[in-house]
């Protein structure tokens, strides 16, 4: 099995019957429950867990795992990553990408300047932003750059097979 994709994290315990708060990393927060089964990291390996119930609570989400009946059992799971098999994600059109596919890609501009690797992405109101980290400070004293993911305007091409993102962006701003 390939490494699961982390889609959320278990938060604090809720109540005395083993419910837990859920921090979802999915586009639509309650969409995390569309992916089943969940996998949870147990040391260096992952184990399957079943969600027996979930609901919205205030501005968040809570869930009940089938094998957890008491608050003390739930307490042991706080902070645990929620993973799912990558096979559960639908294929995307050629010009769309999952964030996980972009993390680790090298970023270079159309003139061949190497900015570093995508370490993460951020969602802003208008567009996603690549967080690109250089291995060391570059010639302009930068270790990290924030580059807007705007297709055609900034992002010229994305080659997932070669792990390269080509951008139209000059380093000397």
Over residues 68-86, mean pLDDT: 94
Q: 83 and 24, same structural domain?
A: yes
In this prediction, residue 138 carries a pLDDT of 62
Most confident listed range (57-66, 92-101, 119-128) = 57-66
Query: pLDDT (tens digit, 9 = 90+) per residue, 28-41?
Result: 899 999 999 999 98
In this prediction, residue 50 carries a pLDDT of 96
E strands of the chain, at which residues?
5-14, 19-24, 38-42, 45-49, 51-57, 60-65, 81-84, 106-109, 114-123, 128-133, 144-148, 155-159, 164-167
Query: pLDDT (tens digit, 9 = 90+) per residue, 138-165?
Result: 666 668 899 999 999 999 999 999 999 9
Q: Domain end: 88, 107, 137, which one? A: 88
Domain count across the chain: 2
State the pTM of this model. 0.69
Q: Is residue 56 part of a domain?
A: yes
Q: In terms of residue numbers, what domain contains 45?
A: 5-88
């Amino acid at each position: 099995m390939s490494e699961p994709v982390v889609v959320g994290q278990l938060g604090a315990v809720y109540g005395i019957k083993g419910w837990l708060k859920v921090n979802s990393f999915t586009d639509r927060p309650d969409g995390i429950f569309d992916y089943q089964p969940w996998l949870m990291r147990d040391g260096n390996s992952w184990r399957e867990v079943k969600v027996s119930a979930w609901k919205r609570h205030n501005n968040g989400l809570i869930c009940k795992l089938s094998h957890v009946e008491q608050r003390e059992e739930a307490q042991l799971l706080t902070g645990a990553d929620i993973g799912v098999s990558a096979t559960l994600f639908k294929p995307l059109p050629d010009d769309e990408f999952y964030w996980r596919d972009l993390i680790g890609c090298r970023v270079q501009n159309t003139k061949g300047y190497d900015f570093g690797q995508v370490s993460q992405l951020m969602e802003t109101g208008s567009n996603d932003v690549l967080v690109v980290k250089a291995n060391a400070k570059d010639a302009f004293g930068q270790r990290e750059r924030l580059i807007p993911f705007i297709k055609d305007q900034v992002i010229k091409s994305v080659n997932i097979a070669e792990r390269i993102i080509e951008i139209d962006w000059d380093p000397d701003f």
